[in-house]
Chain A
Amino acid sequence: MDRWEVFGKRTLDDPWTSVGAVHAPDREMALLLAKESFFRHGEGVDFAVVRLDDLHVFGRSDLLAFATDKTYRLQAGYTGMGDKRRRATAKAQAAGAVIDRPRPADKRVLNTSHRRREAADD
């Protein structure tokens, strides 16, 4: 018997979210059975089924693995930025460099919250 992936929506505006799978011989049976398998406690407002064979699977985990260091693409690659900036500032001052104009204003946030964000970096 075919396996059918089941996708649900909590509200009509939500994207389809995978909720599980059912085994059924055809589309109508899959829809009939998915209702009681996954939506009998009021889990959503609609659902859909897709035959597993109809999912176009990439199937190349080798192409998804990092061949070189990609930590710069990860949030974890950006820790300790406050320290790094302070060290750079101190180094620049020691070398006699002076910042003689104000930093450009952050258009998205107020200055106060900007400062608070810097403090959080530390």
Chain B
Amino acid sequence: MTDPRVDLLLALGDDELVLGHRHAHWTGVAPHLEEDLAFSSIAQDEIGHAVVWYRLAGELTGKDPDALGLGRPPEGYRNAILVERPNRDWGYTVARHYCYDIAEDVRLTTLADSLWTPLAEATGALRREERYHLLHARLWLDRLAHGPLDARGHLADGLVAALAEAPGLFEPLPGEDELVADGVLPLASADQHTRWRDVVTAELTALGLEHVLDGSAHHSDGEFVPTSSGELLDTGDGAAAAGAVASGGGLGGRLGRHSEDFAEVWEELTGTYRAYPGVRW
């Protein structure tokens, strides 16, 4: 495909589809019933966003959204590696949800100014839903950050792991220079990354979690941080962070290079579509 707009739309759609699918793995086993409903609903929202992007891509390629969403080989997907990772625990899930939805907010705000009108118009409905996703992500981040100890520890580990691969969300797209020059993409991926980092740095610092930005699940200076449960978190000599920090910044997804975790997602997502070609609901 030579139209760089298709690569942009597939990157947008694939991020939403794959993360929506991972989110949906919490259905039935989320921390409690109310959260199960809320998170499953967010998962559905994200997959709904994917359909919006695939429809737009379909207008350029002549393919229907199902064929675009489910009918490509693994190397044809353009999602960031971050979104294909398993959920691990609730701490990682909230950390990734937060990293992703701040990124989506930056992305949609950028695209709202696109000179390609259909793209700019598509952001409107998505941003309305995105407000709830951000509310949800920030509230959970805040609650886990304020303890109890175990929760804050899981969150810090999750943030270290998610932040390590978050740069993949802003990996430059193939043909990005052309998209920027044409005003389709009003802000290059690198500049969006800067905006994202400013927001995340400010908010995590406000929660006393700035050390996760340096890849450490614990404070290096041994400060005691009070938590809402009244426990004191000795941040100096705690156990080593359990989360393995991925190298490479989670890059490669925008070029179709994925982690071993993508195979599982792809098998589940596309299995029915491949087994019954042309089947309809």
Binding site for B on A (CB under 8 A): 1, 22-26, 28-29, 32-37, 40
Contact = CB atoms under 8 A, between A and B. Distances in A.
B132 to A, nearest CB: 7
Contacts, number: 32
Interface of B: 32-35, 37-38, 41-42, 132, 135-136, 139, 143
B37 A37 contact: yes
B38 A35 contact: yes
In the complex, the 3 A-B pairs of residues with the closest C-beta atoms, listed nearest first? A33-B34, A36-B38, A36-B41
Contacts of A1: 32
Contacts of A29: 139, 143
B133 to A, nearest CB: 11
23 contacts: A22-B34, A23-B32, A23-B33, A23-B34, A25-B143, A26-B143, A28-B139, A29-B143, A32-B38, A32-B135, A32-B136, A32-B139, A33-B34, A33-B35, A34-B34, A35-B38, A36-B34, A36-B41, A37-B34, A37-B37, A37-B38, A40-B37, A40-B41
Contacts of B139: 28-29, 32
B86 to A, nearest CB: 23
A26 B140 CA distance: 12
Given A33-B35, A36-B37, 18 more contacts: A23-B32, A23-B33, A23-B34, A26-B143, A28-B139, A29-B139, A29-B143, A32-B135, A32-B139, A33-B37, A35-B38, A36-B38, A36-B41, A36-B42, A37-B34, A37-B37, A40-B37, A40-B41
